Amino acid sequence: MNLRKASAAAAAVLALSLTATACGSDDSDSSSEGEGGGKKITVGIKFDQPGIGLKTPDGSYTGFDVDVATYVAKELGYAEKDITWKETPSADRETALERGDVDFIVASYSITDERKAKVDFAGPYLLAHQDLLIRSDDNIAKGADLNGKKLCSVAGSTSAQNVSDELAPKAQLKEYGTYSECIDALASGAVDALTTDDSILAGYASQDQNKGKFKLAGLSLSNENYGIGVKKGDAKMVDDINAALEKMVTDKAWDKAVTDNFGPAEYKNEPAPKIGNIVS
C-alpha cells in the first residue's frame, strides 16, 4: 500500500516536471522568433562579389543583393538580426534550396528555363547585361574592337566564350581563377578587358581601391534577369517576396540600393523590372 502511494506521488512529481519543462521550452522558442512570429530566416547570398554580395573582414555583409534581401526579410517579418547569411556559390544554389539549407536566395541568380525546372523564382528584381570592364583611359565601342586584344573571365564562365563566338573571334581569351585576379591583370595591362554581368563589374569598379581606374564599356551583350530563388512549389513565399519587391520599388529603397552599391562606377542601370517580366 505504501509502495503504491509512493509510486503515485512520484508519478505526479514527474508529470509536473514534464509540464514545467514543456512550458519552458515554448518560452525559449518564442524568444528566438522574428518580428512576424516566425523563427530566424536563412538567406543565401554571394560572399565574394563586391557591390553584389560581399562578406567584409569585420564579418558584416554589403552589396545590392544584401540590401534587397534585408528589405524583403523585413517585409516578411524578420529584423536584420533575425537573418542568418549563408554563402551559396553558383553551382550550389539549386541544391541549397532543395535541401532546405536556405529559405530563399539572392545571389546574382539569373532566371533561366533550366533553373525554373528545379526551383521557383520571385522577381525579377534587376535586369543586368553582360558587359566589358576596361581601363578608364581605354575605349572599346563595340564587341569587334576586342579582336586582337586579351579578354579575361573566370575559369568555367561562358561570358568570354560568348564574346569570342559571336562578336570578336580573334580575341585572345585569358582565364583566371577569380574576378579579383582578372581585375589585377586589367590594372597591370596583362589583359585589355574583363567580361561578366555589368552589375558585378560595377561592383568591382566601385571599390575604393579601384575608383577612377576602370569603366564599363556600356555594351549590352546579353540580358540577365536576376530573380530570388525559392524552393520549388512554395507559391506563398514567391507571392510574399514579389509583394515586398514591389514595395521596395514604390518607396524608392530600390533606387537607393542601386546608388549606394554601384554609384561610383557610374553604372547605367535599367529601371526596376516589372514582376514576372523576363526580358529575353
Question: At 264, is the pLDDT very low, low, confident or very high (cuts 50, 70, 90)?
Answer: confident
Residue 177: predicted pLDDT = 86
Residue 71 has pLDDT above 90, yes or no: yes
How many Cα atoms are found within 13 Å in the side-chain-facing hemisphere of 191?
A: 27
Residue 1 has pLDDT above 60, yes or no: no
* Cell representation of residue 103: 529559405
* Cell representation of residue 39: 523563427
The pLDDT tens digits for 109-140 are: 999 999 999 999 999 999 999 999 999 999 99
Residue 36 has pLDDT above 90, yes or no: no
Domain residue spans in the chain?
Answer: 41-128+224-265, 129-216
The pLDDT tens digits for 9-26 are: 444 433 434 333 333 333
Would you say the C-alpha torsion 156, 105, 110, 98 has a positive or negative sign?
Answer: positive
Q: Do domains 41-128+224-265 and 129-216 have the same CATH topology?
A: yes
Spatial CB neighbours of 53, under 8 Å, sequence gap ≥ 6? 45, 46, 47, 61, 63, 65, 66, 106, 107, 108
Of 46 and 3, more confident: 46
Residue 42 has pLDDT above 90, yes or no: yes
Residue 17: predicted pLDDT = 40
Q: 41-128+224-265 has which fold? A: D-Maltodextrin-Binding Protein; domain 2 (3.40.190)
CATH class of 129-216: alpha beta
Q: What is the pLDDT of the chain when averaged over all its residues?
A: 87
The one-letter code for the residue type at 257 is: A
